[in-house]
Amino acid sequence: MKIVHTIKDLQVDLSALKAQGKRVGLVPTMGALHAGHASLVKRCVAENDVTVVSIFVNPTQFNDKNDLAKYPRSLEADCELLEACGATFAFAPSVEEMYPQPDTRRFSYPPLDTVMEGKYRPGHFNGVCQVVSKLFDIVKPQRAYFGEKDFQQLAIVREMVRQLRLPVEIVGCPEVREESGLALSSRNARLSDGERQDAARISQILFASRPYAKEHTVEETKRFVEQGIAAVPGLRLEYFEIVDGNTLQAIADWHDTSYAVGCVTVYCGEVRLIDHIDY
């Protein structure tokens, strides 16, 4: 595997490979890689001739400077994992390389980006679209792989690709969980052992809400999850919404959609965690 830091170096190598007819897949990441990322990379390696994994902690998608500063960074370990997964390139540019000038482009996909994470992290999805569209332009992949864990992000990236008619196939890959049920996230690296146990309660409560939902209304199911989380002293709920999985709009009745998804954001200590479940 080759580690590249500049757009030019990556493009020189990629154009030689593309001239040989190789198909290129991209896995955009912010590093601090874990088994969830490994599953995306392995799938990309299996479905393409060349796999580019970008490792870039994108400042424009952080609305909280403290969160950006504390985001875990581990390039060396990341590259070892990528090598073991069979990636062709790790693309790890600097902030100056990606943003020589401020990116003034604005991306807005209402109503997908006005709810949930869009509401609580203003500007977040604009930043995600800035960097993802830039990466698509640099790499020009045939396919790009995103985790379903970031459920709203995946819906917004799909919408951006649809509206801008970008020539890339977006592949969504299933969320990966620890044995405890905790959804894998780079942010988990910041949890203490005790916090990890509290954090595992989030998915356990979501899973318990599935059978509960079969016998109860949307409102009651919301309350079940909200109260479950409130009962764990180490957790602080930011929001729990039950939405139509396609439009991401809140539903009032199970009959409003055939694809209901519960999306949750919870603080565990200082660490902000997201998860979701389909009903």
SS3 6: coil
**Is there binding between residue 40 and ligand PAF (CB under 6 A)?**
no
Is position 34 annotated as part of the catalytic site? no
Establish if 144 lies at the interface with ligand PAF (CB under 6 A). no
Our finding on whether 228 is near ligand PAF (CB under 6 A) is no
Q: Residue 50's beta-bridge partner residues?
A: 24
Q: Does residue 152 belong to the site contacting ligand PAF (CB under 6 A)? A: no
Taking the complex as a whole, the smallest distance from the CB of residue 156 to ligand PAF amounts, in Å, to 10
Provide the angle, in degrees to the nearest 10, between the axes of the packed helices 124-139 and 7-19. Answer: 50
Terminal C-alpha separation, the chain? 41
Q: How far is the CB of 219 from ligand PAF (least distance, A)?
A: 31
Q: Does residue 29 bind ligand PAF (CB under 6 A)?
A: yes
What residues pair up with 82 in beta bridges, in sequence order? none
The two beta strands, 260-268 and 271-278, are antiparallel
Q: Give me the least distance between CB of 239 and ligand PAF, in Å please.
A: 19
The CA distance from 152 to 150, in Å, is 6
- Nearest distance, CB of residue 90 and ligand PAF, angstroms: 13
* Residue 88 makes contact with ligand PAF by CB under 6 A: no
Does the footprint of ligand PAF cover residue 128 (CB under 6 A)? yes
**Cβ 72 to ligand PAF, closest distance in Å?**
12
Closest CB to ligand PAF among 91 and 240?
Answer: 91
Q: Which helix (H) or strand (E) holds 138?
A: helix 124-139
Please report, as residue ranges, which positions from 42 to 61 form the binding site for ligand PAF (by CB under 6 A).
58, 61
Task: Tell me the pairing of strands 89-91 and 2-4.
Answer: parallel
Contact of 181 with 156, CB cutoff 8 Å: no
Say which of 5, 34, 37, 216 is annotated catalytic: 37
| Using rule CB under 6 A, residue 245 touches ligand PAF | no
3-state secondary structure (DSSP) of residue 5? coil
Q: What angle do CA 60, 63, 69 make, to 5 degrees?
A: 80
Question: Which residues sit at the interface with ligand PAF, rule CB under 6 A?
Answer: 28-30, 58, 61, 128, 131-132, 150, 153
**Which residues does the annotation mark as catalytic?**
37
